[in-house]
Structure formats: structure tokens, C-alpha cells
Amino acid sequence: MKPPPLQRRYLASFRVPQVSHRFTDVLVIGSGVAGNAAAIHAASVPGIEVLLLAKASLEECSTYYAQGGIAAVLAPEEHEDSLDSHIEDTIEAACGLADPAVVRIVVEEGVRRVEELMAWGARFDQKDGRIQFTREGGHSRPRIVHTGDTTGKEIERTLLVEVQKATAILPLRETFAIDLITRDGECRGALVHRPSGDLQAVWAKRTILATGGAGRLYRETTNPIVTTGDGLAMGLRAGATLRDLEFIQFHPTTLYVAGADRFLISEAVRGEGARLVDKNRERFMTRYHPRGEMAPRDTVSRSIMKRMRELGDNKVFLDLSGIPPERVLERFPRIREFCLGFGIDILSEPIPVRPSAHYTIGGLRVDPVGHTDVPGLFAAGEVTASGLHGANRLGSNSLLEGLVFGARAGEQAAHEALGAVLRPAPFEPAANEIWPGDIKGKDHLDLADLRSSLQSEMWRHVGIERTGDNLRRTLRQIEEWAPYVLEATFHHPIGWTLQNMMATGYAITLAALRREETRGVHFRADFPERDDARWARHQDMKIEDLTLHAEETGE
């Protein structure tokens, strides 16, 4: 069977007069914690100019919506904590696939980066002048710093203040990165779509992808609308290696009410003492794991799904009655306000919840300073597989990773740019592809319906529990869509986004099919045991690897 045509040919499709040109030292694509940190630290190198691109507004990113907090051992004496303890918890959660050296880098440097945030004005919760810590699943000690239940919003605010202060950073909002520009195997920038509708070639000495994850590939997700796997697809097409794409983390507790977004109910709620109960108001987590509600997220998610099947229900409940009301009001004001909008007062009644797609653990393979294997291309944050998370991310380590790897990638890219020469190259229009051309088949393509169908397919068959038969079904379905979606010529972000989602969804599904074991967040019902003899290893993928053998397609 022919694999889907994942390699677009945009850069062979444009006439030179229709593309304007811009030049910069360091191009950062993405304005979340990793992108902002990268831009700030790159701009701190004298003589470096930085262009920071945001797909929507600067604030519209996963960082902004993060509730729980950021893990850092800032006061080890208070809770008998240590850097080694944080390292051990992270490695244990990763189920054998973490890189211990990377874990140590992030945990140790993370303390300095969080202190840097506070020096820049980040306001974390305090009592009597001392930072307040909480605990989340998988952590052996309270080491999560937070700002109520809007920690991500506070971190994003703090970083954007620094971005605006830096005269060497130019932020561009509502700018969609269509594809990376590569010549002779080297990344030289990106082709972007501006709000005016114009195309612009941004030539850069170094480019940093910080585009976040792919949670919007799933029907049930906590992710904002911009997290559609764009960076993964761009990196794949540019020739970068993707690693461990099968590992998608599902958050156990998101609000489940008809008509509501899958609003995340922070793990910190359970850390403060909330209990999961079924429709009979019976607590059930202790049946499945000795840590109960504080078990790792993948265990909690699967336990909830199991309990729902046992009772024939579509949700369970999070009971906050064990938390003092004043503490609920202090720690979770945003959650209470949102739930009140649907007639649920969390002070007196439980919250209906179920799991949703939350975090993309796999991604672009990077080294400890953010290099991908494409010269000139860096990556940081959720778009990467840095070696920190392995097969299961420990809660509140993601913001920490974004800070550390964003800073490292930004500094390294800037220093390399100082000694580099900007090398733009002309676009060569293809003989039979003229921009802006019509969408191939535009009269019969319902892009919204295709997107919804892909999300439903991914949720049903590439979700919390997977089987080989269902994964093969999804591969065949995407291959049916591919000829009229991936081969189409679009000239709007809606079409490009769908192409990115479809390419990324295909790669995730194939990776999940090929890993014939259960490990971390990847659960195969037909291979329910962890298999260290065959699978205690990473799974790397490049664009040329995305072909199916007959035994994989089942045909």
C-alpha cells in the first residue's frame, strides 16, 4: 500500500515576486514558556536580533492555561526534599526511558530558572513571606510552586513582560509558519503567512521550534485550539527525527458536562485532598494503586476508564468535601468560577470528570542544548523528546523543561548565529504549481468535517487504550483521506493546519502500532505487559520511515 504523501512542496510553488523577505539572526516559532524563554535568552547575547512568531495572540498557548504549577526544589529543608529525590521521582515515572543526565540538567538548572522567574516578578503563592508548595501525583514530596490555579497564566505574563522589554526581540502575532525553509539539508528559516494574507520568507541564521504539542488531534482534549502538531509536521518534512510519538499523556480529570470545553481540573486538587468517586459516591482509586489519587496520571486515567466500564457510565466524580472550603477558595478560584458557570458549586457538590488528551511526550529528538539533527534547527518544550519525560511525564515538570531548554536553546542558537552567515536562496516555481492557486477539490472538501472526523478517529482508536486492529484501522482511514487532503494545495491556515494534523496523526498512530507492549502512557490491550527485552528503547522516525509493510496494514 502506498504511504500518504507527507512531503509537501510549498517552497517549489511560489513565484518570487509574491513572497516578501525578512532577515533575522534567530527565529523563534511559538510564544509559550519555551519560546519566550528562548527569545529572551537569545536576545541577551549582544548583537543578536530575534523574531518571535505567534500563531494567534502571544498569550494563546498551552502555558497560559496551565493550572497546577511548576516543580522545583526551592526549599528542601521544609519538606525533607532534595534534588536527588526530584530526579528519582522523574526517572521512576518515565518507565525506563528517561535520560538520567538530561533529568539532572533540568532538575538542577530548573531551580535557577524558577528563581530567575521570581526575580522578573513572577508572583507565586506565599504565606508569611514563604513560598507555598503543593504535591502532585508521582511526586514523593511537596515541591510544586503555584499561583492559585492560574500558574501558567502568571508565568506567561512574566515572560511576556521580559519579551516586551527586550528591544532586540520583535514579536509577530497572528503569523502562521507554513513550512521550514531548507536548502542543502540545512534549515535557513521559515515561510510564513501574515495576517494581511501576504507570504513572507523569514531567513534566519538559526531557527527554534517551540510550537507545543498535538493535543488537538483528539476529540477530548485540554489543549487550546492552537496545539495542532504543526511543529512536529514541519520538523518531519524538513528531515528531522521524531522520537517516541506513541507516548501521549491523558489527564485523568477534566470537566465532563455537555456543551463545556474539556476544562482541566488540576491534579493539584487531588494533591490537596480531593477524592475520586463513582456514581455511587464510592471511592475506587485505592483498588487500583497503593497511592490512590496520587498514582501517576496514566494509572489514574486507565483506572477511571475501567471503573466507568464496570458501571456502564461515561464519567466519575471528583469530591472536594475533604478540603476545607477556605482552602478551596484560596487555591482554586478559577476552577470554582468555571464550574459555577455550569451550575456546579465545588464547595458543596462533586465535579463530573473523565480523562482527556493533555500532553505530547514524544517529539523532535534534541540534544541537551536543543539541536535537532537538521543543521540550523533547534527545538524546545513540548514539541521535543528531550529525554526528560521518557514514557510518562511527571506532573509539573513540563513548565520546568520549557524554561530550562528554552534558555539553553536560545543561548546556543544566539552564539552560533554570531559566527554564521545568512544564506538566503531564491524560490524556484514549479512548472505546474502557481501561487496562489485554487484549493484542489475546494468545491467538495469540508475541512471542518474532515478535522472533526480525524479527531474522533484518534480519540476512539489511538487514545487511552489501544489495540493493533484499531490502530491499523486508523492508518487505513488516514490513507483514504490523504489523496485529497495531503496532496491538496491550500492557501489558508485552515487547510495547512489540517494537513499538519493528518501527517502528525498518521505518525503517532504508526508509532503506537509498532510498539507492541504497554509502557507508561502507551497501553496496548493486546500487549498488556511491559516488555523490557524488546522495547526498553526509544522509537525514532523520519519521513522516509513512514511506509507500511503488508503485515502492518493487514492487507
In this predicted structure, the answer to whether residue 262 has a pLDDT above a threshold of 50 is yes
Angle at 267 between CA 102 and CA 141, to 5 degrees: 60
Runs of H (alpha helix) within 219-261:
230-238
CB-based burial, 429-439: b 16+ in 10 Å, e otherwise = beeeeebeeeb
CA distance 547 to 353: 38
In this predicted structure, the answer to whether residue 7 has a pLDDT above a threshold of 50 is no
pLDDT range class, residue 28, cuts 50, 70, 90: very high
CA distance 282 to 316: 10
Q: Are 366 and 327 in a shared domain? A: no
pLDDT range class, residue 427, cuts 50, 70, 90: low
Q: Are 457 and 544 in a shared domain? A: yes
Per-residue model confidence (pLDDT) at position 397: 96
Residue finishing a domain among 418, 448, 466: 418
Per-residue model confidence (pLDDT) at position 483: 79
Domain count, the chain: 3
pLDDT range class, residue 137, cuts 50, 70, 90: confident
Residue keyed to cell 514579536: 171
Residue keyed to cell 526551592: 74
Q: Are 34 and 169 in a shared domain? A: yes
In this predicted structure, the answer to whether residue 293 has a pLDDT above a threshold of 60 is yes
Give the domain CATH number at 517.
1.20.58.100
pLDDT, tens digit (0-9, with 9 covering 90-100), for 181-201: 998 889 999 999 999 988 899
Residue 237 domain-assigned (yes or no): yes
Q: Are 333 and 392 in a shared domain? A: no
Residue 431 domain-assigned (yes or no): no
In this predicted structure, the answer to whether residue 525 has a pLDDT above a threshold of 80 is yes
Q: Are 392 and 526 in a shared domain? A: no
pLDDT, tens digit (0-9, with 9 covering 90-100), for 204-243: 999 999 999 999 999 999 999 999 999 999 999 999 999 9
Instruction: Choose the catalytic residue: 216, 270, 297, 451.
Output: 297
| Three-state DSSP state, 448 | helix
Residue 542 domain-assigned (yes or no): yes
Give the domain CATH number at 216.
3.50.50.60
Q: Supply the mean pLDDT for the chain.
A: 90
pLDDT, tens digit (0-9, with 9 covering 90-100), for 93-127: 999 999 999 999 999 999 999 999 999 999 999 98
Q: Are 377 and 510 in a shared domain? A: no
Q: Are 37 and 159 in a shared domain? A: yes
- Please state the rounded mean pLDDT for residues 18-33: 93
pTM above 0.75, yes or no: yes
- Please state the rounded mean pLDDT for residues 496-510: 94
Per-residue model confidence (pLDDT) at position 486: 80
Q: Are 347 and 369 in a shared domain? A: no
- Please state the rounded mean pLDDT for residues 366-378: 98
- Paired strand residues for 478: none
Residue 524 domain-assigned (yes or no): yes
pLDDT, tens digit (0-9, with 9 covering 90-100), for 430-442: 333 333 334 444 5
Per-residue model confidence (pLDDT) at position 555: 52
- Please state the rounded mean pLDDT for residues 534-548: 88
- Please state the rounded mean pLDDT for residues 359-371: 98
Q: Which of 272-286, 399-413, 436-450, 515-529 has the lowest mean pLDDT?
A: 436-450
pLDDT, tens digit (0-9, with 9 covering 90-100), for 57-87: 999 999 999 988 999 999 998 889 999 999 9
Cα dist from 274 to 70, 253, 327, whole Å:
20, 11, 12
Q: Given the DSSP bridges, would you call strands 242-243 and 384-385 parallel, antiparallel or unpaired?
A: unpaired
Q: Are 256 and 301 in a shared domain? A: yes
Is residue 297 flagged as an active site residue?
A: yes
Q: Are 339 and 375 in a shared domain? A: no
Task: Find out whether 4 and 482 touch, Cβ atoms under 8 Å.
Answer: yes
Residue 48 domain-assigned (yes or no): yes
Name the nearest CA neighbour of 153 among 62, 83, 277.
Answer: 62
Residue 73 domain-assigned (yes or no): yes
398-418 and 33-43 helices cross at what angle (nearest 10)? 30
Q: What's 507-549 look like in SS3?
A: HHHHHHHHCCCCECCECECCECCCCHHHHCCCCEECHHHCCCC
Per-residue model confidence (pLDDT) at position 17: 42
Per-residue model confidence (pLDDT) at position 16: 39
Q: C-alpha grid cell for residue 468?
A: 493493533
Task: Find out whether 211 and 402 touch, Cβ atoms under 8 Å.
Answer: no
Residue finishing a domain among 303, 336, 354: 354
Residue finishing a domain among 354, 371, 400: 354
Q: Given the DSSP bridges, would you call strands 50-53 and 19-29 parallel, antiparallel or unpaired?
A: parallel
Full domain range(s) for residue 346: 252-354
pLDDT range class, residue 8, cuts 50, 70, 90: very low
Q: Which of 136-140, 425-429, 522-526 has the lowest mean pLDDT?
A: 425-429
**In sequence order, which residues have a C-beta less than 8 Å from that of residue 497 and are 6 or more positions away?**
228, 230, 451
Residue 131 domain-assigned (yes or no): yes
In this predicted structure, the answer to whether residue 13 has a pLDDT above a threshold of 50 is no
Q: Are 48 and 172 in a shared domain? A: yes
Backbone angles phi, psi at 355, to 5 degrees: -70, 155
In this predicted structure, the answer to whether residue 545 has a pLDDT above a threshold of 90 is no
Per-residue model confidence (pLDDT) at position 267: 83
pLDDT range class, residue 298, cuts 50, 70, 90: confident
- % of the chain exceeding 90 in pLDDT: 76
Per-residue model confidence (pLDDT) at position 548: 52
Give the domain CATH number at 259.
3.90.700.10
Q: Are 327 and 400 in a shared domain? A: no
Residue 425 domain-assigned (yes or no): no
